[in-house]
Amino acid sequence: MNVTSRPFGRTKSGIPVTCYTLENAAGMRAEVLDWGCVIRSVVVPDRGGAPTDVVLGYDSLEGYESGSCFYGAFVGRYANRIKGSAFTLNGRTYHLEPNDGKNHLHGVYCTSVFSASVEDGALVLRRTSPDGEEGYPGALDVEVRYTLTDDNQFQLDYTALAHGDTVVNFTNHSYFNLAGSGTIADHCLQLTCDRFTEGDQEVLPTGRVLPVDGTPMDFRTPRPLSEGLALTDPQLIQCKGYDHNLIFPQDGPASGWACCPRTGIRMTLTTTQPAVQLYTANYVDGDTAVCPGKGGVRYPRHAGFCLETQHYPCSPNFPDFPSTVLKAGETYHQRTTYGFSAK
């Protein structure tokens, strides 16, 4: 993997931002910003060999700073939502900054500048999150490692060392469009997930974990996303599409794939995480960015899909969900790999 870099502007506070280009021997390349560890582009050949950028984003830092869609961002300290912006740990209640109505969503890592270096053939980005940042307890040393292999596997490794008891849930918020334009309604999706967490009107879990059988959440047999987006299921109506936490089987593979009939591009997914948030870009047409997307495009609703591998939303407030507590001195590590091919 070859890594080059170029300036990508300065933040509103004057901090310089760098864009790193990762390129492999097969000609696939990805661009990553040290601002939010953003995956700005992923370019792969379609079935005819034409290079296709399969992720949404902006051409300028100003777009990322003013936008509301988290395009390509690494999110934490806790991905997804925490109800009421509060949770209890070790008998003490911690109050977080509400940034999604009265709830807490994702956190500030997506707007933070990380230090970057190239190590062992990977782009490594690091940041120390101080004790009390956004209300979270315990300092946390965070590392994000991006590796692009010569067989077009884009590997994302997240590592964190806790200096005090805390909660941790990291993910990446890339929006994929395997056609490079238009909507993803014709994309076919397969996921091994056999359960999902029921959501309420605020896209928060109700606490009920339900089987996917007989619901629009069942992607164990591949099917077009259009089938779900056209249904009148209440879970989809309240979100204007998919925005749901789907759970991988406890005794089976945590994997899936998506493909686009227009380009022949296929993306595979494997992860060590227990779940994945399927989101179908239901609100990108209301983006707050001061500029359009890449190439001057105004992205329409359902212009992309996210497969945000994660622990469950709001886990600190649901004891029956898998724990996201990281004790002082413990190390967190998760890996997600997106693979690309065309046929």
List pLDDT tens digits, range 177-230.
999 999 999 999 999 999 999 999 999 999 999 999 999 999 999 999 999 998
Q: Which of 65, 133, 134, 308 is catalytic?
A: 308
pLDDT in the model for residue 196: 98
What digits encode the pLDDT tens for the residues 51-96?
A: 999 999 999 999 999 999 999 999 999 999 999 999 999 999 999 9
Percent of the chain with pLDDT strictly greater than 90: 98
User: Would you state the structure tokens that stand for residue 245, as one six-digit string?
Assistant: 């936490």
pLDDT by residue (tens digit) across 7-45?
999 999 999 999 999 999 999 999 999 999 999 999 999
- 244 an active-site residue? no
What fold characterizes domain 2-342?
Beta-galactosidase; Chain A, domain 5 (2.70.98)
Residue among 173, 187, 244, 311 flagged as catalytic: 173
173 catalytic? Reply is yes
pLDDT tens, position by position, 95-149: 999 999 999 999 999 999 999 999 999 999 999 999 999 999 999 999 999 999 9
The pLDDT tens digits of the residues spanning 269-278 come to: 999 999 999 9
Give CA separation, 181 vs 57, 106, 280, in Å.
12, 27, 14
What length does the chain have?
Answer: 343
Dihedral angle of Cα 194, 197, 198, 201, to the nearest 10 degrees: -140
| Three-state helix/strand/coil letters over the chain | CEEEEEEEEECCCCCEEEEEEEECCCCCEEEEECECCCEEEEEEECCCCCEEECECCCCCHHHHHHCCCCCCCEECCEEEEEHHHEEEECCEEEECCCCECCEEEECCHHHCECEEEEECCEEEEEEEECCCHHHCCCCEEEEEEEEECCCCEEEEEEEEEECCCEECECEECCCECCCCCCCCCCCEEEECCCEEEEECCCCCEEEEEEECCCCCCCCCCCEEHHHHHCCCCHHHHCCCCCEEEEECCCCCCCEEEEECCCCCEEEEEEECCCEEEEECCCCHHHCCCCCCCHHHCCCCCCCCEEEEEECCCCHHHCCCCCCCEECCCCEEEEEEEEEEEEC
What do you get for the CA distance between the two ends of the chain, in Å?
24
What ranges do the domains of the chain cover? 2-342
Q: Is the pTM higher than 0.75?
A: yes
Give the position of tokens 């979270």: 136
In angstroms, rounded to a whole number, what is the distance separating the alpha carbons of residues 247 and 205?
13
pLDDT of 232 strictly over 90: no
Q: Is the pLDDT of residue 252 over 90?
A: no
